[in-house]
Chain A
Amino acid sequence: MLGERVLTDMTNQPTEEKARSAIALILRYGSLASTLLMALGLLLILVRGAVATPGSGLPILPRMLFAGLAHFDPLAITESGVLLLLLTPIFRIVAAAVSFGLEHNYRYVLISLGVLAVIFGSIGFAMQ
Chain B
Amino acid sequence: MELTWLLLIELVVLGVVAGGVGSLTGIGGGLVITPILTLVFGIPIHQAIGTSLCCVIATSSGAAASYVEHRLSDIRLGMTLELATTVGAVSGSLVAALLSREALAVLFSFLLTYAGATMVRRSLKAEAVAQEEAEPYQIKRLPLGLCGSGAAGVISGMLGVGGGVVKVPLMFLAMGVPFKVATATSNFMIGVTAAASAFIYYTRGDVRPLVTAPTAVGVYLGAALGSRLMRRTPSRWLIVLFSFIMFYFAMVMVWKSFHGGFAH
Identify the A interface with B (CB < 8 A): 3, 6-7, 9-11, 13, 16, 19-21, 23-25, 27-28, 30-31, 34-35, 38-39, 41-42, 45-46, 50, 57-59, 75, 78-79, 81-83, 85-90, 92-93, 96, 108, 111-112, 114-115, 118-119, 122-123, 126-127
Judge whether A126 and B200 touch: CB under 8 Å.
yes
Chain B contact surface mostly:
helix
- Please name all residues of chain B whose beta carbon is closer than 8 Å to the beta carbon of A89 when the two chains form the complex: 57, 61, 191-192, 194-195
Judge whether A21 and B69 touch: CB under 8 Å.
yes
Judge whether A59 and B61 touch: CB under 8 Å.
no
- Please name all residues of chain A whose beta carbon is closer than 8 Å to the beta carbon of B203 when the two chains form the complex: 59, 123, 126-127
Identify the B interface with A (CB < 8 A): 3-5, 8, 54, 57-58, 61-62, 64-66, 68-69, 71, 74-77, 79-80, 82-83, 86-87, 90, 94, 136-140, 142-143, 191-192, 194-196, 198-200, 202-205, 207-210, 212-214, 216-217, 220
- Please name all residues of chain A whose beta carbon is closer than 8 Å to the beta carbon of B82 when the two chains form the complex: 93, 111, 115
Judge whether A119 and B196 touch: CB under 8 Å.
yes
Q: A42-B213, A86-B202 in contact; A28/B57 too (CB < 8 A)?
A: no
Q: Which residue of A lies closest to B157 (CB)?
A: A122
- Please name all residues of chain B whose beta carbon is closer than 8 Å to the beta carbon of A127 when the two chains form the complex: 203
Judge whether A41 and B83 touch: CB under 8 Å.
no
What is the CA–CA distance of A20 and B70 in the complex, to the nearest angstrom? 9
- Please name all residues of chain A whose beta carbon is closer than 8 Å to the beta carbon of B76 when the two chains form the complex: 9-10, 13, 16, 108
What is the CA–CA distance of A112 and B82 in the complex, to the nearest angstrom? 9
In the assembled complex, the CB of B69 is this many whole angstroms from the nearest CB of chain A, namely 5
Judge whether B5 and A85 touch: CB under 8 Å.
no
In the assembled complex, the CB of B93 is this many whole angstroms from the nearest CB of chain A, namely 8
CB-based closest 4 A-B pairs: A31-B61, A89-B191, A38-B213, A27-B65
Partner of B199, one of A50, A115, A122: A122
What is the CA–CA distance of A1 and B205 in the complex, to the nearest angstrom? 45
What is the CA–CA distance of A21 and B69 in the complex, to the nearest angstrom? 7
What is the CA–CA distance of A50 and B199 in the complex, to the nearest angstrom? 24
What is the CA–CA distance of A23 and B64 in the complex, to the nearest angstrom? 9
- Please name all residues of chain A whose beta carbon is closer than 8 Å to the beta carbon of B213 when the two chains form the complex: 38-39, 41-42, 78, 81-82
Q: Which residue of A lies closest to B90 (CB)?
A: A122
What is the CA–CA distance of A114 and B216 in the complex, to the nearest angstrom? 28
